[in-house]
Structure 1
Amino acid sequence: MAISKPPLGRLLRFPRNSSLSQILMYLGFAITLSFVLIALFAPLLQSWGWIQNPTDSLVNPIHQPPSGKYWFGTSRQGYDVFSRSLFGAQAALQVVLLATALSMMIGVPLGMLSGYLGGNVDKIFLFFMDSIYTLPGLLLSVTLAFVVGRGILNAAIAISIAYIPQYYRVVRNHTVSVKTELFIEAAQAMGANTWQVLTKYLFFNVIQSVPVLFTLNAADAILVLGGLGFLGLGLPEETPEWGYDLKLALEALPTGIWWTTLFPGLAMTIMVVGLSLLGEGLNEFVNPKLRRQNSIRK
C-alpha cells in the first residue's frame, strides 16, 4: 500500500497569485538564515581577532557609545555590545532548537498514539495535555527553570514542556481524521500491527503542519528565553544572551545609555520577526484552504 505524501514541488513553490506570501516567506527565511550564519561564524570571527571575546570585561571603555572601534558601544560591565549581540544568536539558537526538538519528539509520537488507539488511552493523554496547555507558557517555564537550574539543556527543558501539548493536539487531531481512511483499513486488514500503521501509513499523512508549528514555537521560545534571562534564570551569568544583557542594561537606561538595550533588543526582535514570517509563509503553503481563501480575496 503506497503512503500518501505531500509532493516535494508543493514544498518548494507558491501559487502564482501568492506573490506577497512568497516574498514574506523568503524574507523570513533570509533573516533566519542570517542569524544561523552569525551563530555559526561568531566563534570563528572571535578567534581571528575580528571581534572581542564576549565575556571579557574591557579595562577602560565602560559605557562608551558606538564608534569605529566599538560598533555597538560598550556596557556598564565593560563588555563589547557588538560581540555579545552576535554570540547571543548562538545561545538563542542552541536553546530554541533543543527546546522545539524536545517538544516535537515527545508531542508527535504521543499525538499519533493517542489519536490512533482512542478509548481510555486517548482520554488520559488528553487530560494531561489539556492540563499543561491551560497553564501560561512563560509562567510554566519560569517555574521549571527554578527546579532544573541554569544551562543550555536545562533552559531548553524548561521551555519545551509548554510546547508539547501543541504538537500533541495538532498531530492527534490529524490522526483521528486520517485513521478512518481506506488505506489505513486496508493496511490493518493485511495484518499490519500498530507500530507499522503508525510509522508507515500515518506518520507522513499527519505531520504536514509540524514544520509550521516548529517555526512559530521557535519564535515564541526566543521570547521565553529572553524572559528567563531577564529574570536571571536562563543561562549561567556572563553568558552572552539577549535577555540577560537587557537585564544588565536596565539600570543604565535612565542615564541615557541607550545602546546597551537597543542592540540586544533589536536582535531579538528581528529574529522573532524572521521566524514568524517563515512560519506564516509555511502555514499558507501547507494549508490548501488558506491558500484558496487568499486567492478568493484577491
Structure 2
Amino acid sequence: MLPIVGIGAGLVSALLFAVVITGSPLAFLLYSAAPLPIFIAALGWNHRAGLVATAAGAIAGMIALSFAAGLNFALIVALPAWWIAYLALLARNDDTGGAEWYPLGHLLVWIAAIAALTTVGSALVMTTDYDTYRTVIARVIENLLSEMVRSRYITLPADVKVSELALTLAPAVPVGIGASFVTTIVANLWLAAKAVQVSGRLPRPWPFIPATTVPRRALILLGLAMATATLGGFIGVAGAAMTGALLAVFMFSGLATIHDLTRGKAWRGPALISVYLALFVMQALLTPLLSLAGIVDSLLGRRKAPSPPSVPPMPNA
C-alpha cells in the first residue's frame, strides 16, 4: 500500500510541477500546490511514502520532460516537502512518558531555511551568472512598472526613469520571493495536515497553533541574514531570501499571537475578521506590523499551549 500511495502522490505532484511551463495564471496556482501530494503521503503514510513519492515524481519528470526538470522537481519541491513532513512527525518521550512533538516554531524556522534555499536554487536554475540574473529580474520589474504606469495604477515623478528604478528594486526581489515560498509551504502543510487529520491518519494530535512562538535564536539568524543581504552576488541573494523568509515566519507568529490574546474575548470574531481583511487589503502595511509582533513575542517567549492528551509517539524511522 505504501509504495502505491507514494508513487501516486509523486506522479500527481510532478504533474502539478510541470504545468507551470504553460505560463497561464491557473498553471502558476497549480504549481504552488505541487508539494501538497508529497505532504499528504508523508504525513498520512509516514516519511517513507514521501521518499517514494519524491523518487517517482523525479523519474517521471526526467522521462516526460528532461533530466534537469526531474532533478529540479526533487530539489525544489519534493525533498523539502518530505523533510518538513518528517520533522512535523518527529517525537520523543517526555518526563511523564507522553509524546513531545517537534515544536511548530522550530518547524517554521526550517521552512524559512528551505524557502531561502529554494529561492537561490530557482535563481541558479535560471542562470549561474549574477549579472545576467539581475538583468533578467530588472527587466521583469521594468515591464511590470511600465504596465502599471500605462494603466495609471501608479504615477512616477517625471525625473524617475522606469529602467533605473527597476534596477534599484531588483536586489529586493529575493526578499519577496523568500516570503512567498514560506507562505506557500505553510499553506500546503496546513491543508495536507488537515486533510490527513480528517481521514484519521494523522499520527500526532492537532497542535495548539495560537501558542506557536519562534525561538529567540531565529532573531540572531535574522540579523545575520540582513547583514548577508548587503553583500553582492548570489550570497546576497541568499541573505535577502532568508530575510524575507524569516520575516514571513515572524508574521505567522504574529498572527498566532493575535489568535492567542483574543481567546475567550467576546470581540474575538470581529477582531480576527478585521485583521485578515486588513492583511488582504493593506498587505504592505500590516505585514511588517505582524512581523514586529512576532519578533516581540519571540523575545518574550511567554505563551504556552494547553496540556494535550498523552499520546505515544509514532515510530518515524
Q: TM-score higher than 0.5 here?
A: no
TM-score range, shorter chain: under 0.3
By relative contact order (CA 8 Å, sep 6+), the higher-ranking structure is: 1
Who wins on radius of gyration, i.e. which is larger?
Answer: 1
TM-score, normalising length: structure 2: 0.26
